[in-house]
């Protein structure tokens, strides 16, 4: 406990003592985290937008005439049993005719020509709002369509397919960009921490020569990395928050469509903490690797 307190105190003192190098390090950590943070935020909004649009995915299975009641019941149960389905309803031939009469009273004379309802019975299915399941929904519909009772299917899936494609592209691009930026971040921070340690190599050598244990030497440096990463993450979160507040005002005049597409209401806590945790982890890892390598390669006192 006493040792940890000393290490924390030492780390904070070192950070304050080498303000220039550490401010530079902090700035780089914040900037490199900010870029994936912005992308993550846009991706988050795109997700929400797609989910909102996906609430309207519907399919209508028109049934062949003369279907057996129990077979229709089995089909309804099967549809209802799916986790993808939000709501399912059955419209009989008579109800379809009544609905037509109600909605188009001026065309009732046409129906007078028929002794029975000319409309097919149908099963109306509403799916759950989850853009990720568009492919599953399509596959489910195709499966139900194979039932001998089904005459045809009407569905509004074309736009959903397009959105799913955009989402897929966005996810891939997001992952790809984030991975590249993360590697770049680690590389930059690793080198900044290495420079930071190199800058104080004399101090490390002195500590070694006066009989400090490895952990006594390493811990303050590790904590410095952790603290710098943590502060860098906080700063990136703060900058992202500021960008979210400022950008819509700008976008209002310039990018109306973008503003409609992206909901600039708030920064989700998840993204904020991701930035802070990633920053801390990168800071800690980078100083750990740098320190390990430096201590191994340190020239004799």
Binding site for another protein (CB under 8 A): 2-3, 6, 17, 202-203, 205-214, 216, 300-301
The residue ranges of DSSP E strands in 207-275, in sequence order, are none
Instruction: Give the nearer residue to another protein in terms of CB position, either 183 or 209.
Output: 209
Smallest gap from residue 19 Cβ to another protein (A): 12
Q: Could you give the CA distance from residue 46 to residue 173 in angstroms, rounded to a whole number? A: 13
Phi-psi bin for 117: left (phi > 0), alpha (psi -120 to 50), beta?
beta
Element spanning 153, H or E: strand 150-155
R_g of the chain, CA atoms, integer Å: 31
Q: Could you give the CA distance from residue 46 to residue 170 in angstroms, rounded to a whole number? A: 8
Instruction: Give the nearer residue to another protein in terms of CB position, either 110 or 206.
Output: 206
Q: Which tokens belong to 241?
A: 């928050």
| CA distance to 27, 52, 221, 244, per residue, from 267 (Å) | 21, 18, 32, 8
Instruction: Give the nearer residue to another protein in terms of CB position, either 158 or 202.
Output: 202
Q: Considering only CA atoms, which of 247, 256, 281 is closest in space to residue 41?
A: 247
Q: Is 168 exposed, middle or buried (0-12, 13-18, 19+ CB in 10 A)?
A: middle
Q: Could you give the CA distance from residue 34 to residue 116 in angstroms, rounded to a whole number? A: 67
Smallest gap from residue 8 Cβ to another protein (A): 14
| CA distance to 271, 287, 292, per residue, from 194 (Å) | 28, 7, 10
Smallest gap from residue 204 Cβ to another protein (A): 11
Smallest gap from residue 20 Cβ to another protein (A): 13
Q: DSSP alpha helices (H): ranges in 18-157? A: 19-54, 69-80, 93-103, 108-111, 134-145
Instruction: Give the nearer residue to another protein in terms of CB position, either 216 or 288.
Output: 216
Report yes or no: 279 and 33 within 8 Å, Cβ to Cβ. Answer: yes
Instruction: Give the nearer residue to another protein in terms of CB position, either 207 or 241.
Output: 207
Instruction: Give the nearer residue to another protein in terms of CB position, either 206 or 246.
Output: 206
Smallest gap from residue 288 Cβ to another protein (A): 17
Smallest gap from residue 26 Cβ to another protein (A): 20
Instruction: Give the nearer residue to another protein in terms of CB position, either 115 or 297.
Output: 297
Smallest gap from residue 286 Cβ to another protein (A): 23
Instruction: Give the nearer residue to another protein in terms of CB position, either 12 or 166.
Output: 12
Smallest gap from residue 229 Cβ to another protein (A): 24
Query: End-to-end alpha-carbon separation of the chain, Å?
Result: 30
Q: Could you give the CA distance from residue 78 to residue 89 in angstroms, rounded to a whole number? A: 13
């Amino acid at each position: 406990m006493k040792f940890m307190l000393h290490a924390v105190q030492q780390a904070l003192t070192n950070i304050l003592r080498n303000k220039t190098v550490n401010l530079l390090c902090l700035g780089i950590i914040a900037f490199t985290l900010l870029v994936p943070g912005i992308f993550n935020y846009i991706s988050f909004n795109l997700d929400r937008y797609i989910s909102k649009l996906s609430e309207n995915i519907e399919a209508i299975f028109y049934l062949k005439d003369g279907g057996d009641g129990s077979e229709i019941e089995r089909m309804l149960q099967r549809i209802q049993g799916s986790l993808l389905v939000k709501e399912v309803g059955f419209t009989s031939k008579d109800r379809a005719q009544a609905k037509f009469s109600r909605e188009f009273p001026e065309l009732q004379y046409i129906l007078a020509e028929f002794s029975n309802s000319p409309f097919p019975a149908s099963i109306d299915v509403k799916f759950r709002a989850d853009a990720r399941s568009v492919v599953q929904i399509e596959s489910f519909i195709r499966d139900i369509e194979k039932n001998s009772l089904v005459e045809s299917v009407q569905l509004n899936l074309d736009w959903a397919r397009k959105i799913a494609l955009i989402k897929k592209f966005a996810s891939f691009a997001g992952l790809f960009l984030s991975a590249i930026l993360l590697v770049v971040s680690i590389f930059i921070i690793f080198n900044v921490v290495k420079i930071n340690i190199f800058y104080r190599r004399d101090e490390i050598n002195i500590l070694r020569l006066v009989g400090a244990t490895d952990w006594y030497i390493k811990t303050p440096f590790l904590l410095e990395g952790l603290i710098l990463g943590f502060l860098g993450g906080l700063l990136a979160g703060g900058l992202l928050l500021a960008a979210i507040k400022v950008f819509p005002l700008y976008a209002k005049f310039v990018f109306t469509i973008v503003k409609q597409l992206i909901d600039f209401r708030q920064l989700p806590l998840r993204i904020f903490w991701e930035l802070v945790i990633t920053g801390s982890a990168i800071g800690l890892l980078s100083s750990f690797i740098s320190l390990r390598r430096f201590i191994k390669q340190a020239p004799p006192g």
